[in-house]
Amino acid sequence: MKTISAKLQVDRPVTEEVLGEAIERGRLRHKSALQATAVTFQDGCLTIRFEDGAGLLLPVKLFPEFDGFEAEDFAALTVGFSGTALCNEEKDLHVSIAGLISASKPLMNMAASVISSRNGRQSSAAKAEAARANGKKGGRPRKVEVVQ
């Protein structure tokens, strides 16, 4: 798993504008981020539940962060950082849920497939205009083979 160091933040005076920008960034981040609501441990696996009722089962043997954890340590795991991390305050452990998911190759392959499928259905304004223009001409132009 990748370790990320905190970036040095330059102090900025808090104005109404800066506060408004921060609130908007928070709203956007909350909408797009994972929003876990619960975590449980059973039979060597963590079950992470999300806002929409979906869940994810992760075997802890795949993650070195949990080496040395006992049953009571797993019972003390909580969801923190607005639903984006698993935390155990006694062990001073804060693990990104996205990081846990990204460590699983099958989950990443599935995520890539879902994202590719979703992105393939998206249409930009330019693509939509080109499709309308081609439709007025009778559809997509046929490819003309150039004989040399």
pLDDT digits (tens, 9 = 90+) for 7-16: 656 677 888 9
- Name the E strands within 43-138: 45-50, 55-59, 78-80, 85-88, 93-96
Please give the residue that has the higher pLDDT: either 1 or 135.
135
Round to whole Å and give the CA distance between 50 and 21.
27
Q: What is the pLDDT of residues 129-138, one digit of tens each?
A: 888 888 888 8
Q: What is the pLDDT of residues 17-60, one digit of tens each?
A: 888 888 888 777 766 666 899 999 999 999 999 988 889 999 99
Q: Which domains does the chain have, with CATH numbers?
A: 18-103 (3.30.2020.40), 105-136 (no CATH)
Q: From 27, 47, 24, 22, select the one nearest 37 (Cα to Cα).
A: 47
Between vectors from CA 22 to CA 21 and to CA 26, what angle results, nearest 5°?
115
Residues 6+ apart with CB under 8 A from 50: 34, 35, 36, 37, 56, 83
